[in-house]
Structure 1
Amino acid sequence: MTPDFQLEAPLSKRRIVVAMSGGVDSSVVAALAARSGAETIGITLQLYDHGAAVGRTGSCCAGQDIRDARAVADRLGIAHYVFDHESAFRQSVIDDFADEYMAGRTPIPCVKCNMGVKFTDLFRLAKELGADCLATGHYVRRVVGADGPELHRAADPARDQSYFLFATTRAQLDYLRFPLGGLPKPQVREIAAELGLAVALKPDSQDICFVPDGDYAAIVRKVRPEADTSGEIVDLAGRVLGRHRGFIHFTVGQRRGLEIGGQAQPLYVVRLEPETRRVVVGPREALAVAAARLTDINWLGGDRDGPLTAKVRSLAKPVPARLDDGRLIFDAPEYGVAPGQAAVLYDGDRVLGGGWIAETEPAMLAVAA
């Protein structure tokens, strides 16, 4: 199989730079690019120090991953370069992740990584190498419409990564290529096996690569030692129900881990108040949100005023909504909408754009009062 890299023929006179993380997806992209006849160059960003990265699993751009990417490049006979971006990654992604938790928000570091270290820096490197495009292993589709390139959801809904790429700019989309967007993951692994790539059976990386064991609190505590400052757990009326051991252990919508027994009904984290260090809890209906205010909206194209669907969590289903001057209004109350997360807007499969959730408006003002 040779995908369409959407470049003017002949491909033998084109140069493709592939972002190689060391996983099966980007390795297959590199292989397909090389088979197309274009000159292919692999780039890997080192995001961790060599010592800490050795033997790490469930991550990307770490020690073993760099070795895997280099081995694939050697097998394909293409050039491969590794660039040290540990400091930039720590400042723009890990530090931001910790600060967001400290501020009572729920961060999405994968989006920040794509916005900064990965796309911005990879673009610069690819252009310096004279590439005609930058290809990645993301599961999204780039569709050329009447007004230029559009970003669409992947053909395989189970693998779609469009939520994490909403901040891609129009200029970036013009230069990017996503050759796996029309393929299911099993077929990608089959291609890797057919090509004899050693990463064919390599496990997928986790969503948050720098938290391989899922212990977010430990990462935040390491970066911000003051993160364990305790505070009160209160109900919607302000009555103290217990104490918590730090904001970093809670997110909006959370039910487990509150350690406040003896309640008449299940309680959920409704909001976090960084000024008072309080965790506010309430019944499930208190989580219902009527609207959300979005900031830093990135618009990729399409009708702002028409009907759309909005996805407010990576695993949530898009729901009907409308956008009015930065205010996202849901057709029906939506649950699990947390400040710090992203709201990604769609017209069918097309990504219209998205923004960061700054504030939410409760659907039941009487309950929230």
Structure 2
Amino acid sequence: MSGGIDSSATCIMLQEQGYEVVGVTMRTWDVPSKFSTPGQTEPDDVLEARALAGKLGIEHHVADVREEFKEVIVKHFIDEYMKGRTPNPCVMCNPLFKERILCEWADQTNCAHISTGHYCRLEEHNGHLYIIAGDDMTKDQSYFLWKLPQEILRRFIFPLGTYTKQEVREYLRQKGFETKAQGGESMEICFIEGDYRDFLRSQCPDIDTKIGPGWFVDNKGLKIGQHKGFPYYTIGQRKGLEIALGRPAYVLRINAEKNTVMLGDAEELKTEYMLVEDYQITDMQELMQCKDLAVRIRYRSKPIPCRVAVLDEKHLLVRFYSEASAIAPGQSAVFYDGRRVLGGAFIASQRGIRKIAADNQDKL
């Protein structure tokens, strides 16, 4: 229970369906804006969730996991940027943290199932449970859940999968929670307010002396200007480069070892192939035989038709069949058959991708 619109509606729906509900609110990171009253000792989301639990007459617990969250999720977020990659903290948080802790609390409180306010649903196929994209494609969160294992999915209930956000708001109004229904959206990354660069500086005060300025280079490796340090840039970035080249420039590659950032034009961001690593596929045979296979390479991006070749136990080679651009190492590549999630992987370094593709043409 985050205290927000979606988890609140989920609690009410589950009660109406006859479930005995126990609420758990995770206190993960104390964002200053969540303390709206002077002297407040707990963030607003904890207070709102507790108040809702009281109105619904359900048992409520607060899991103070701030230290563990910092050591697992925030550390991974920082480490990825320090490697020149663009992290997906929500993808890591779901299997390594949020759902694991929910399962632990479910066991402690003798609950058979766990539930969240994610906009998606589940469907069984050939003995496996699959995540299905939510009906509201503007709120669909299936992209973030690809790493959830079968044993956790089999405990899950997703009540909001067939609702739009507007329908959820209207549902809360009908149940007498007008103020809750008018609530705002949650932050995309729950522990960051504003620019992630400021967050990096706050958590790594020596980042500007430890890494410091480096060179912008062109696609031939020639120096064309100075930048503030490679962690402050992401693949595909155009704004905020603070360099005048007389034409639009985009970040093509980041070299953390040399502290260089390669710039080029939009055309140079396009690619026909992508290398991914650490994949988790529900049924590899189904993935390989899927006639309508598509992959999303970032949250809210449209699925791109593709084919996949297995290179080894860690890597897959993806061939795109329509335009793909700005492949960012560290982001998730999530594979779909229509609205059904077949699995996912992390986008690997694309260094040498042309040779890798040429060497594996027979597999694609």
Normalized against structure 1, the TM-score is what? Answer: 0.87
Contact kept, 8 Å, 1:21 with 1:44, in 2: the verdict is yes
Other-structure match for 1:194: 174
Matched AA of 1:316? S
Look up the SS of the partner of 1:356 in the other structure. strand
- Give the structure 1 partner of residue 338 of structure 2: 348
Counterpart contact for 1:291–1:330, Cα < 8 Å: yes
Distance 1:348 1:80, change over 3 A: same
Determine the structure 1 residue equivalent to 2:253. 271
Local SS of the residue matching 1:137:
coil
CA RMSD in angstroms, aligned pairs only: 2.0
* 1:48 match: 29
| Match of residue 304, structure 1, among 287, 294, 310 | 287
Partner of 2:359: none
Cα distance in 2 between the residues matched to 1:102 and 1:84: 28
- Match status 1:166 vs 2:146: yes
Tell me the equivalent position of 2:13: 32
Q: 1:321 to 1:50 in 2, by over 3 A?
A: closer
Answer yes or no: is the 8 Å Cα contact 2:280–2:343 preserved in 1: yes
1:247 pairs, out of 199, 221, 230, with 230
Are residues 50 and 293 of structure 1, via their aligned partners in 2, closer, same or farther at CA, if it must alter by over 3 Å? closer
Change (3 A) 1:362 1:23: farther
Equivalent residue, structure 2, for 1:113: 93
Distance 1:97 1:53, change over 3 A: same
- Paired with 1:199 and 1:156, the residues of 2 have a C-alpha distance of 20
2:160 to 180, 190, 193: 180
1:256 is aligned to 239
Contact 2:128 2:282 in 1 (8 A): no
Q: Which residue type is aligned with residue 80 of structure 2?
A: E
Q: Is 1:281 equivalent to 2:263 in the alignment?
A: yes
Q: 1:155-190 deviations in whole A, cap 9, x for unaligned?
A: 111111111111111111111111100001111111
TM-score by length of 2: 0.88
Q: Contact 1:233–1:279 (CA<8 Å) still a contact in 2?
A: yes
Distance 1:73 1:32, change over 3 A: same
Q: Aligned residue pairs: how many? A: 339
Tell me the CA shift for residue 135 of structure 1. 0.9
Q: CA deviation at 1:226?
A: 3.5
Listed one character per residue, the Cα deviations across residues 214-241 of structure 1 (whole Å, up to 9, x for unaligned) are x101111122233322100111111111
Is the aligned partner of 1:150 residue 2:130? Answer: yes
Per-residue CA distance 1:115-148 (angstroms, 9 max, x = gap): 2220111111112221121011000111233424
Q: Distance in 1 between matches of 2:144 and 2:304?
A: 17
Partner in structure 2 of residue 79 of structure 1: 59
| Letter of the 1:103 counterpart | K
SS of the residue 1:315 aligns to: coil
Moved more, 226-235 or 151-160: 226-235
Is 1:339 the counterpart of 2:321? The answer is no
For the 8 Å contact 2:134–2:161, the answer to whether it is kept is yes
> Kindly tell me: are residues 69 and 323 of structure 1, through their superposed partners in 2, closer, same or farther at Cα, counting changes over 3 Å?
same
2:109 equivalent to 1:126: no
Kindly report structure 1 stretches of 4+ aligned residues shifted beyond 4 Å: 49-53, 361-365
For the residue of structure 2 that corresponds to 1:152, the secondary structure is strand
Match of 2:348, SS state, is strand
In structure 2, C-alpha distance between the alignment counterparts of 1:150 and 1:66, rounded to whole Å: 31
Query: SS state of the match for residue 39, structure 1?
Result: coil
1:294 partner letter: V
- Kindly provide the amino acid, as one letter, of the partner of residue 339 in structure 1: P
Match of 2:306 in 1: 321
Q: 1:216 and 2:216 equivalent?
A: no
**Cα distance per residue 1:92-113 (max 9 Å; x no partner):** 1111111111111111111111
Once residues 301 and 155 of structure 1 are traced to their aligned partners in structure 2, the CA distance between those partners, rounded to angstroms, is 24
Asked whether the equivalents of residues 304 and 323 of structure 2 are also in contact (C-alpha less than 8 Å), the reply is no
Give % identity.
36
Rounded Cα–Cα distance in structure 2 between residues aligned with 1:314 and 1:338 = 12
**CA 1:74–1:254 in 2, change beyond 3 Å: closer, same or farther?**
same
Alpha carbons 2:216, 2:261 under 8 Å: kept: yes
